[in-house]
Amino acid sequence: MRHLTLPPSASAAPVLMVVAHGSRDPRHAATVHALVERVRGLAPGLRVEPAFLDFDAETVPALLERLHAEGVRDVVALPLLLTRAFHAKADLPAVLRESAARLPLLRVRQAGVLGPSPLLVAALERRLGEAGVELGQRGSTGVVLASAGSSDPEAIAVIAEIAREWRRTGWCAVRPAFASACGPGRPRTEDAVAAMRAGGARRVVVAPYVLAPGRLPDRIAAGAAGADVLAPVLGAAPEVARLVLRRYREAGAGGRLVAA
């Protein structure tokens, strides 16, 4: 296993708090914990802790209070999000500010969201390969890039740009699709699959651009019924773990200070 370079004294490095949205579906938390374990394996000595915005006992405020009580004074909060939408722009910052007001000795920086990144595209292709898609036959295969969805125009634009760039690697076509906030220009997974068929793609595969199982990924899976292949979620793919550490290092170099 290749270890990634961290500051000379890992024990003095800020704690990495990996923040997931959370879900009532137990598969969600299990996947987040698996990803955290992979990150820990890549960075021995770095303290990595999972936290959740909702639906889990280890909430962000609860974890920050525990860290503060243990004497931790420097934390990087890294959102397990693929686009900058409400949770990254408003929800998480508000939770961090509220906690910081009660924990004045704790310095918290918010890292950037994971996407977009070539590492995520590499993870998507890993999952397609694991599902049996022959990546050498891109020219006859259309891909539906299925995301959770958002009403945020910035997030929608990012997904569309990823699809455009990914198609340039040789796929017959790549179409974005959304599990929620659907509407004009934001097709559902099943609509994108049907459009791909109508466009002449010999084979249609669905690549979920989501990190963990849950209600919206299940909606993607249901919409993929007419496709030839449905890939697994990104989960604890090695590329995702490497990207988590990359965003952590970037936050150390210039992450947004939430409170000190």
Mean pLDDT of 35-56: 94
Mean pLDDT of 13-40: 96
In a domain, 123, yes or no: no
Say yes or no: 144 and 174 in one domain: yes
User: What is the count of structural domains for the chain?
Assistant: 2
CATH number of the domain to which 47 belongs: 3.40.50.1400
Query: Which of helix, strand or coil describes residue 208?
Result: strand
In a domain, 126, yes or no: no
Mean pLDDT of 156-177: 96
**Whole-number pLDDT of residue 163:** 97
**Whole-number pLDDT of residue 164:** 97
Say yes or no: 14 and 109 in one domain: yes
Q: What is the pLDDT of residues 202-218, one digit of tens each?
A: 999 999 999 999 999 99
**CA quadruple 198, 220, 230, 158: dihedral positive or negative?**
positive
Say yes or no: 164 and 90 in one domain: no
Say yes or no: 65 and 143 in one domain: no
Cα–Cα distances in Å, from 77 out to 71, 110, 174, 205?
17, 5, 33, 34
Highest-confidence segment of 11-25, 99-113, 229-243: 229-243
Say yes or no: 58 and 101 in one domain: yes
Say yes or no: 196 and 248 in one domain: no
Range of the domain at 190: 132-230
Mean pLDDT of 35-42: 98
In a domain, 247, yes or no: yes
Better-scored residue on pLDDT, 181 or 51: 51
Question: What percentage of the chain carries pLDDT values higher than 70?
Answer: 90
Out of 2-11, 41-50, 152-161, least confident range? 2-11
pLDDT at 236 over 70: yes
Say yes or no: 23 and 61 in one domain: yes
Q: How far apart are alpha carbons 81 and 87 in whole angstroms? A: 8
In a domain, 218, yes or no: yes
In a domain, 127, yes or no: no
In a domain, 176, yes or no: yes
What is the band of 12 on the pLDDT scale with cuts at 50, 70, 90? Answer: confident
Q: Is 93 exposed, middle or buried (0-12, 13-18, 19+ CB in 10 A)?
A: middle
pLDDT at 124 over 50: yes
**Whole-number pLDDT of residue 166:** 98
Question: What percentage of the chain carries pLDDT values higher than 90?
Answer: 76
**Whole-number pLDDT of residue 256:** 56
In a domain, 121, yes or no: no
Out of 9-18, 48-57, 135-144, least confident range? 9-18
Say yes or no: 225 and 247 in one domain: no
For helices 238-254 and 118-130, the axis angle rounded to 10 degrees is 170
User: How many residues are recorded in the chain?
Assistant: 260
**Whole-number pLDDT of residue 230:** 98
pLDDT at 194 over 50: yes
In a domain, 20, yes or no: yes
Say yes or no: 152 and 195 in one domain: yes
**Phi and psi angles of residue 55, each rounded to the nearest 5 degrees, phi first:** 65, 20
